[in-house]
Amino acid sequence: MVKRRTINIGFIGLGIVGQGVWKHIQRNRAELEQRLGARLVLYRAAVRDPAKKRPVRIPPSRICVDPLAVATDPKVDIVCELMGGTTLAKKATLAALKCGKIVVSANKALLCQSGEMLFRAARKGRGHFYFEASVAGGIPIIKVIREGLVANRFDLIYGILNGTCNYILTRMDQESLTFEETILEARRLGYVEADESLDLDGWDTAHKAVILGHLAHGNWIKLRHVPVEGIRRITLEDIRWARDLGYKIKLLGIVSRDSQSGKIFVRVHPTLIPKDNILAHVDDVYNGISVTGDIAGTTVHIGRGAGQDATASAVISDITDAVSALLGKPSTLPAEEEIGGEIFPAPEAELADLSEISGHYYIRLNVVDKPGVLAEVSAVMARKEVSIASVIQPKVSLGKRATLILTTHTSNEKIIQETCRNLKKLKNVLTAPFLLRIADFKD
């Protein structure tokens, strides 16, 4: 009988995701070991509070409070960094890579901020860095782009990348609940990050979009160059008016590349999607990603994007790849130097200007209800050469206030943002204009 190699797995952080990984490996250990040809040992875990009660049973002897002790332990083969954050997590990850270990991470913020540094550390220390769980939970989108569609050039990748925001927008749409009502339920179910701005203001989606941009084009786009808008200003009325116009509102992360100039643009914002688009029907905590390649055309990938099990599944997928690497088995997974651009160097990313991003727009205005206001608004838009496609004034009693819904013909981001700033200056416009993009993706 051939003796199986023992693979020791260390955990840095044992929160919801870490406990899910631990639980599922314990439950499915025999099958995983049979498939991989190795013995898996849940060897050690660094946690903030060893005395905290956890749903999974972990022997006290396997728990410590020092992440660096796990990262540098010579007996640990695979380090699962699941603590989050970009300070101590970064220090521990770099320490593990310096020791030549394989690191598996679900930390999209760290990867977005320091991905280039992490890959460089992996190459120098002869370690590996796997990050399937950092984007889209249960959808293996990173493997899809890096392996299944590796022969393609990608002009457009867009998708619903945050299950929390999608859950909120779905409840608003299907049950006519306000944003405030749905966020309370999302908190109760544990869907919202401790720092709610990560979800609600679009930053979680932005981190993931930057990672997808790197995978697709080999360039790290700085987060400061990514226009980011969240969902806090979306009202129940916006949901209803979008429905009447034939759309649904989804928060999208978008990575586009002009096929002629090669310029890249990454952005995050709520978007009106036509009801005949597949992603318009991706609801609740599910994610959906559309990937358009020059060879394969458009493929759409849908799966659970939030919750313990979906993310744990992606982490375990990376652990199995890591075990295969440790056993010297052939893998289609490219080395970090390939995705980092050293073997096949990518040109420096040239970012598209706002004036080069065109589309149709939806603008909601809260105005004084009196004659001549629409004429004032139209004059401002005409001066910026923004052509109005439609005007809706809902017949709702708001006292001396009224709401105007405008949609536009083709304009561009620079002009439409200047137009909104000018509209805000009108004395009869009571609040800042609310802008939504109308999807016209050519899939």
Taking residue 171's Cβ as centre, other Cβ atoms within 10 Å add up to 20
Beta bridge partners of 257: 264
CA–CA dist 429, 51 (Å, integer): 56
CA atoms within 13 A on the CB side of 70: 32
- Is 208 one of the catalytic residues? yes
Beta bridge partners of 156: 256, 292
Residues 6+ apart with CB under 8 A from 3: none
Among the listed residues 101, 108, 208, 248, the single catalytic one is 208
Taking residue 85's Cβ as centre, other Cβ atoms within 10 Å add up to 12
Which residue intervals of 136-202 are DSSP H helices?
141-143, 163-175, 179-188, 196-200
Taking residue 128's Cβ as centre, other Cβ atoms within 10 Å add up to 23
- Residue 9 φ/ψ, nearest 5 degrees: -110, 125
Distances (CA, A) of 143 to 84, 301, 334, 336, 418: 22, 12, 10, 13, 40
163 close to 308: Cβ distance less than 8 angstroms: no
Beta bridge partners of 255: 157, 266
Greatest Cα pair distance in the chain: 89
Residue with tokens 């999807």: 439
Residue numbers annotated as active site: 208
